């Protein structure tokens, strides 16, 4: 994120906001945040995917079988001798739906802001 911020925020924008007399928070809100919005959208999507697909930590920490994450629950559907494939597929679909929703919402903002930043006047 630091590398993206260094490349995305031009020095001219920083100097122009200082000349106008904007303070730090005003500078951040009006100059920094709009320019960094595509990077923040990508970071949010990537972090949500990483946390949403986490398997090992919830397996270790969650001791109540009724309060496990969807990934752990799908793994517990696999039996030793048999596997209910329809239940595994339904559980996988239920665990993927929130990830797809976040991706569609976040990618819309990511692509729109990326395209808006590419326009030259």
Helix (H) or strand (E) holding 88: helix 85-118
From CA 70, how far away is CA 26, in angstroms rounded? 42
**8 Å CB contact between 72 and 66:** no
Per-residue pLDDT tens listing for the chain (121 residues): 888 888 878 778 778 888 888 788 888 888 888 888 888 888 888 888 888 778 888 888 888 878 888 888 888 887 777 778 888 888 889 888 988 888 888 777 767 666 655 554 4
Look up the pTM and report it. Answer: 0.66
Q: What's the pLDDT at 24?
A: 80
């Amino acid at each position: 994120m630091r590398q993206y911020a260094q490349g995305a925020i031009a020095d001219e924008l920083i100097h122009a906001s200082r000349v106008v007399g904007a303070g730090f928070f005003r500078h951040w809100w009006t100059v920094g945040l709009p320019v960094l919005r595509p990077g923040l959208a990508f970071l949010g999507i990537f972090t949500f995917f990483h946390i949403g697909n986490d398997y090992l930590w919830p397996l270790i920490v969650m001791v109540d079988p009724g309060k496990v994450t969807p990934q752990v629950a799908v793994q517990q559907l696999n039996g030793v001798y048999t596997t209910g494939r329809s239940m595994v597929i339904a559980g996988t679909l239920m665990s993927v739906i929130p990830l797809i929703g976040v991706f569609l919402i976040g990618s819309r903002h990511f692509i729109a802001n990326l395209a808006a930043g590419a326009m030259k006047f």
